Structure 1
Amino acid sequence: MSAETTPSYLDTPQGRRIAYHKTEGQGPCVVFLGGLKSDMEGTKALHLETWARARGQAFLRFDYSGHGQSSNTFEEGCIGDWHEDTLAAVDQLTEGPIVPVGSSMGGWQALLLAKARATRIKGMVTIAAAPDFTEDGYWANFTDAQKAQLEAEGQVALPSDYMEPYIVTKRMVENGRENLVLRDALPLPFPVRCLQGTDDSAVSTETALRLLDHATCDDMRLTLVKDADHRFSDEACLGLIEAAVAEVL
């Protein structure tokens, strides 16, 4: 846990309450964007905060609605809601250049942020980025029975290697379609460093290569780490994250 265990709160224009921790320091502000059902107390977020503090670098971590200490339930949320939460956090809590660091679903959020606030971004780091997973992961792999259940009941429960089974709602799938980033032009006019483990059972290396191939970027690199899993948080992986953030700063 962090030294300041009590978070601050921010109210979004949509009426959600977002818990956050902000470390003041020099810009650009590093903004950690967590994964699906993860929270801002995760290993990577806390490690980066400690690293940023030691450098005197501004740093922000927060919980999307339905995650961690923020308002609402997970089942109520969707990619678009968490994008709105991200915009509210960035717009209200940071100024000047930012460096988003997106983990898993947070990688998708970082790419949506790039579409909405490209001029604010100095550089970007993604860790096992999972763009478009509601379509290419969930929907594409649903059985006919699951698709019928989603239509009839509005939700399907999925098992996970990393947590309790979780609920995929019809809203999450339908809203995901409105926020896809790998179907049309994706200009990233700043340095991008993508990190991906080869032993990741949640996000495939193929997804990382697809993002690399699809984006338009003059300075984009993908680092594959043999045998690293989706958590990407052992000592070696944390060192790679630090180095990638330092490089784009």
Structure 2
Amino acid sequence: MTEFMDGPQGRRIAYDLIPGREDVPGVVFLGGFRSDMRGTKAEHLAGWARAQGYRFLRLDYSGHGESAGRFEDGSIGDWAADAMAAVSGLTTGPQVLVGSSMGGWIALLLARAMPERVAGLVGIAAAPDFTENGFWANADEAQREALLRDGQWQLPSDYSDEPDVITRRLIEDGRDHLVLDRPLPLPFKVRLLQGTADAEVPVEWALRLLDHADCPDMRLLLVKGADHRFSDPDCLTMIEDAVAEVMRG
């Protein structure tokens, strides 16, 4: 059931919280760019957590899903702050962060800001620094000039009839929240899941994160033929298994 909290800067944040056992870490699902908490992976994990008796939190960042605000007004820093406020205000004790695509970046920012609250991390096609290494790196000179001049550009979306609005603020704020340009200590178990047919997040990004992070127990599972959605039955089972493994510590 959707509930609401007052998030940072007065943004009204939608969330769904399932209570559960206190003797194991809770699970927090962090969705992707322009996605919402009712997507296939989030719904599947919610059902799995409920069946296992695990605490489970999912939320819509501001400008996403049922939360207040316009998507094009948001940025990585805003959405990380929304997630941090939800974890701080709605959960207690250690949490396993499950980050899908952009949610993987958000999870890494939370792990950097509040490591004492993180029991482990599962990344599903994790996309840290994608505003810089994806949007900006792939833009041509004319697009970059247009972004600086007009404050935004529009890109076709594979997931919606509406284009993705990429703003200058999104790009510039993203640079303030990069995680791969500085040490990245992750002192807990981390599991990364990545499809080889992912057209949005290249396998090279997963390998770079694996190489860059300072983590005592970090593993990357490459799934041949899986795309960015990573939502077929086999992939959903792999997500369950990864979360369960990390929860065991």
Which of 28, 31, 35 pairs up with 1:34? 31
Query: Which of 29, 34, 52 is matched with 2:49 structurally?
Result: 52
Output the CA distance in 1 between the equivalents of 2:60 and 2:158.
22
Q: How does 1:138-177 map to 2 (within 5 A)?
A: 138-163=135-160, 164-177=162-175
**1:114 and 2:119 correspond:** no
1:244 to 230, 242, 245: 242
Q: Separation in 1 of the partners of 2:75 and 2:217?
A: 31
* Matched residue SS, 2:68: coil
For 1:7-57, what per-residue CA distance to the aligned partner results, in whole angstroms no more than 9, with x for missing partners? 100101311010000000014110000000000000100100110011100
Match of 1:18 in 2: 13
**Following the alignment from structure 1 to structure 2, what is the Cα–Cα distance between the partners of residues 161 and 197?**
17
How far apart in 1 are the matches of 2:228 and 2:8? 33
- Show the 5 A alignment for 1:50-129: 50-129=47-126
CA distance in 2, matches of 1:22, 1:28: 14
Tell me the CA shift for residue 143 of structure 1: 0.8
Question: SS in structure 2 opposite 1:129?
Answer: coil
Q: Which residue of 1 aligns with 2:129?
A: 132
How far apart are the structure 2 equivalents of 1:235 and 1:34? 19
Cα deviation for residue 138 of structure 1 reads 0.7
Shift of 1:162: 2.8
Match of residue 183 from structure 2: 185
Distance across 1 between alignment mates of 2:217 and 2:9: 35
Shift of 1:223: 0.2
> How far apart are the structure 2 equivalents of 1:71 and 1:161?
24
| Code of the aligned partner of 1:211 | L
The 4+ residue runs of structure 1 with deviation greater than 3 A are none
3-state secondary structure, aligned to 2:131: helix
Q: Measure how far apart 1:230 and its partner are.
A: 0.3
Q: Deviations over 1:80-128 (max 9, x none)?
A: 0001101110000001010000000000000000100111111110000
Question: Within 2, Cα distance between the matches of 1:127 and 1:38?
Answer: 14
- Once residues 29 and 199 of structure 2 are traced to their aligned partners in structure 1, the CA distance between those partners, rounded to angstroms, is 22
CA distance in structure 2 between the aligned counterparts of 1:162 and 1:199, rounded to whole angstroms: 16
Q: Secondary structure at the match of 1:135?
A: helix
Q: Which consecutive unaligned segments of at least 5 residues does structure 2 have?
A: none
User: 3-state SS of the aligned residue for 2:67?
Assistant: coil
Counterpart CA distance in 1 for 2:45 and 2:200 is: 22
AA aligned opposite 1:145: A
CA distance in 2, matches of 1:236, 1:33: 20
| Partner Cα distance (2:116, 2:243) in 1 | 18
Is residue 215 of structure 1 aligned with residue 208 of structure 2? no
Letter in 1 for 2:130: F
RMSD: 0.7
- Please report the TM-score for the alignment, with normalisation by the length of structure 1: 0.97
Q: Distance in 1 between matches of 2:159 and 2:219?
A: 27
Alignment size in residue pairs = 244
With the length of structure 2 as denominator, give the TM-score of the two structures: 0.97
Gaps of 5+ in 1: none
